[in-house]
């Protein structure tokens, strides 16, 4: 079995054994930990005998065997593994005692070093071993994993390939159970692009004494961290930090990093938004594909409490609506950038929502405002659709920094890479396209580095994305009449309707009060019916109404409500004023988004006044908003087809229909 897809298929086929004992969406609960266990078993094979001899030699003589056993556990090159197992069992010897396989396997698990035991605790492996044993499946599953076709030894399967196997298994399981595979899995070519964008300014010189920190707040199986390590470790010493919420995915990330031997600290399973496990961390590089379109209501109380801290917390710029936490993750990542003139860079993936969702004054707009006014955003790159496994929508890479190069200060680069892809020979979920590593990725990197406007690249000043939302008012002009149609509107008036309602509990008293109320309603309508004609000024009509209703004990607000219920807009009516000031008509109220770079008064004179001469702006309601309407800047006009071409198509279809009719005859 040379390539990883064959291994994935073979491991995937183990689900056949579990059918009936486990539901389809539970298969991964067994297959993933068994695959991890098999990998550990293979990795430890080289020094298994030495560790076992050392354990038997020192057992009972010293209290802490951990350091001594870790010193013996090494790979074929003599490098310390950082973990061990002192049991005499492995996948092959477990099969030699079928009657006691459950007991022996538990002993095998308990003989791992503590850092590995923690991983299997999150998998609940012991519980599954017991369940499999009762179903008479444990021996059969261990036997399957012992076959040569599933050799996961490092000499056969590299660390990079093993990580790909884990991710592909997760994708397939998520697809089967209709879960969000994208929460854990980002296509390899996208990770490669993000990695190269992140390190585009990193000089490739030998500096092993220099330590660079890389952080992923939603690390999944650790694929992005591994990619960063593989890229940088040739030149620098790299320390990795990651946090993951999902228990099983967290366990895989821990296991993969442990077996790779990377200097990595993976924490979880806890939510980054509400339980940051690296409060004091300030990283050189931050990379992530946080979940998009995911509610953050479970984190709400702690997030809102931290938002109240302002700049002292991570969410001082604001909070987005509850159904999408992407902008919270972006704020969190920015909070992890270094201070004291030390440079940090960020590469993150989102969908389109963080770019434009939310009006001026909303949480989303305020967060964008904060990011743009603080000049954090270097570039936003639109990727092709159908690139991810669980969604066909367009996604975007945000490149951010706390120290922009001189030519980028005060500007944001937009790169339209939506047409940069090749079709896949075989679709994987919703993924039908992929970035060509030899063609598309170099093209995107070149556009980024060149920093020059083109058909696929726009260089925009920060202010271009900002606007002032101005409230435009038009005067209230009403006519009034007591026609039957308008009198019927009174029944929709809350105060008028309540006249015929009763809160009394006694049925007879309730009926009597409601009957009296209906009689009063009828009398009010009868009194108002005496007012004839159409009035185009408030004051005369108000006088008539008050005179007609003087015998009724109605509040001033009730009378005003009646007058408004008997009105409708009329451009020829007199302006309604209060203390000599024109009153606005709420039904005609509108807003204008005026770019920050434009003079508001000049814009109003040019765009509004010619159409509504009596309109005015209520500047007390001004709100500053920011949005990045990506499509707008790359819109290409496509002229409609000519009438002649359309007519030709119609004539052709008509002729085909006529020919078919003749054939039927």
176-468: what CATH class?
alpha beta
DSSP summary character for residue 640:
P
Angle at which helix 538-548 crosses helix 556-565, to 10 degrees, equals: 120
Q: Which two tokens stand for residue 329?
A: 């993750």
pLDDT higher than 60, residue 354: yes
Burial of 274 (0-12, 13-18, 19+ CB in 10 A): middle
Q: Which two tokens stand for residue 605?
A: 């004179």
Mean pLDDT of the chain: 91
How confident is the model at residue 162, as a pLDDT?
A: 82
Neighbours of 183 (CB within 10 A): 21
* CA distances, 599 to each of 410, 602, 654 (Å): 20, 5, 56
Percent pLDDT > 70 in the chain is 97
Q: 96 or 635: whose pLDDT is higher?
A: 96
Average pLDDT for 391-398? 89
**H-run or E-run covering 264:** strand 264-267
Q: What is the pLDDT of residue 4?
A: 66
Query: Half-sphere exposure (CA, 13 Å, Cβ side) for 178?
Result: 0
Instruction: Report CA-CA distances (Å) from 279 to 282, 285, 286, 337, 498.
Output: 9, 16, 14, 12, 58
Half-sphere exposure of 191 (CA within 13 A, CB side): 23
The pLDDT value given to residue 178:
55
Per-residue pLDDT tens digits for 551-582: 998 999 999 999 999 999 999 999 999 988 99
**Please, where in the chain does CATH 3.40.50.150 lie?**
176-468
Mean pLDDT within 171-194: 73
Per residue in 223-271, pLDDT (tens digit) is 899 999 999 988 888 999 999 999 989 998 999 898 888 788 999 999 9
pLDDT attached to residue 182 = 43
Q: Is it the case that residue 309 has pLDDT exceeding 70?
A: yes
Give the model's pLDDT for residue 1.
Answer: 43
Quote the CA–CA distance of 96 and 58 in Å, as a whole number: 27
Is 435 in contact with 189 (CB distance < 8 Å)? yes
Give the global pTM.
0.86
Over pLDDT 90: what percentage of the chain?
Answer: 73
């Amino acid at each position: 079995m040379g390539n990883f897809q064959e291994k994935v298929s073979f491991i995937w086929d183990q689900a056949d054994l579990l059918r009936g004992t486990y539901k389809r969406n539970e298969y991964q609960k067994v297959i993933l930990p068994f695959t991890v266990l098999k990998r550990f078993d293979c990795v430890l094979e080289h020094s298994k005998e030495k560790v076992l001899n050392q354990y038997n030699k020192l057992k009972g003589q010293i209290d802490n065997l951990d350091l001594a056993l870790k010193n013996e556990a090494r790979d074929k090159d003599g490098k310390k593994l950082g973990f061990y197992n002192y049991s005499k069992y492995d996948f092959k010897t477990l099969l030699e005692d079928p009657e006691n396989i459950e007991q022996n396997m538990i002993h095998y698990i308990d003989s791992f070093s503590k850092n590995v035991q923690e991983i299997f605790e999150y998998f609940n492996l012991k519980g599954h071993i017991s369940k499999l044993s009762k179903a008479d499946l444990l021996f059969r599953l261990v036997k399957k994993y012992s076959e040569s076709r599933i050799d996961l030894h490092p000499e056969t399967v590299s660390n990079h390939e093993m990580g790909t196997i884990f991710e592909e298994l997760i994708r397939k399981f998520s697809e089967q159970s209709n879960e969000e595979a994208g929460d854990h899995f980002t296509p390899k070519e996208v990770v490669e692009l993000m990695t190269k964008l992140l390190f585009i300014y990193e000089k490739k010189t030998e500096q092993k004494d220099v330590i660079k920190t890389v952080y992923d707040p939603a690390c999944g199986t650790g694929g992005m961290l591994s990619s960063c390590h593989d890229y940088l470790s040739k030149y620098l010493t790299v320390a990795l930090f990651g946090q993951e919420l999902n228990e099983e995915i967290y366990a895989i990330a821990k296991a993969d990093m442990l077996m790779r031997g990377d200097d990595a600290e993976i924490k979880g399973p806890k939510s980054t938004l509400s339980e940051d496990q690296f409060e004091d961390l300030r990283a050189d590089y931050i990379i992530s594909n946080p979940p998009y379109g995911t509610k953050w209501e479970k984190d709400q109380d702690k997030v809102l409490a931290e938002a109240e801290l302002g700049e002292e917390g991570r969410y001082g710029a604001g909070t987005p609506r509850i159904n999408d936490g992407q902008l919270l993750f972006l704020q969190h990542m920015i909070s992890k950038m270094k201070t004291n003139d030390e440079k940090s860079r960020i590469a993150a993936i989102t969908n389109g929502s963080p770019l434009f969702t939310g009006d001026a004054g909303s949480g989303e707009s305020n967060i964008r405002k904060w990011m743009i006014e603080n000049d954090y955003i270097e570039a936003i790159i639109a990727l092709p659709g159908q690139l991810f496994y669980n969604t066909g929508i367009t996604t975007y890479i945000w490149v951010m920094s706390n120290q922009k190069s001189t030519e980028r200060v005060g500007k944001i680069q937009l790169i339209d890479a939506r047409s940069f892809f090749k079709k896949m020979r075989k679709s994987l979920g919703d993924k039908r396209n992929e970035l060509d590593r030899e063609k598309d990725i170099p093209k995107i990197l070149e556009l980024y580095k060149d920093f020059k406007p083109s058909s696929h690249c726009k260089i925009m000043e920060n202010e271009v994305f900002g606007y002032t939302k101005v409230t435009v008012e038009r005067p209230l002009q009403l006519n009034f009449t007591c026609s039957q149609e308008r009198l019927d509107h009174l029944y929709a008036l809350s105060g008028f309707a309540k006249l015929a309602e009763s809160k009394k509990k006694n049925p007879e008293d309730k009926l009597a009060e409601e009957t009296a109320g209906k009689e009063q309603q009828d009398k009010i309508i009868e009194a108002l019916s005496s007012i004839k004609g159409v009035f185009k000024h408030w004051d005369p009509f108000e006088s008539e109404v008050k005179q007609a209703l003087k015998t009724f004990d109605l509040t001033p607000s009730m009378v005003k409500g009646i007058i408004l219920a008997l009105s409708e807009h009329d451009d020829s009516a007199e302006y309604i004023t209060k203390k000599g000031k024109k009153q606005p008509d709420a039904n005609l109220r509108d807003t204008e988004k005026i770019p920050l770079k434009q003079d508001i008064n000049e814009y109003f004179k040019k765009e509004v006044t010619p159409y509504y001469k009596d309109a005015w702006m209520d500047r007390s309601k001004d709100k500053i908003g920011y949005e990045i309407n990506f499509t707008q800047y790359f819109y290409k006009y496509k002229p409609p087809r000519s009438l002649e071409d359309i007519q030709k198509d119609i004539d052709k279809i008509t002729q085909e229909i006529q020919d078919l009719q003749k054939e039927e005859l």
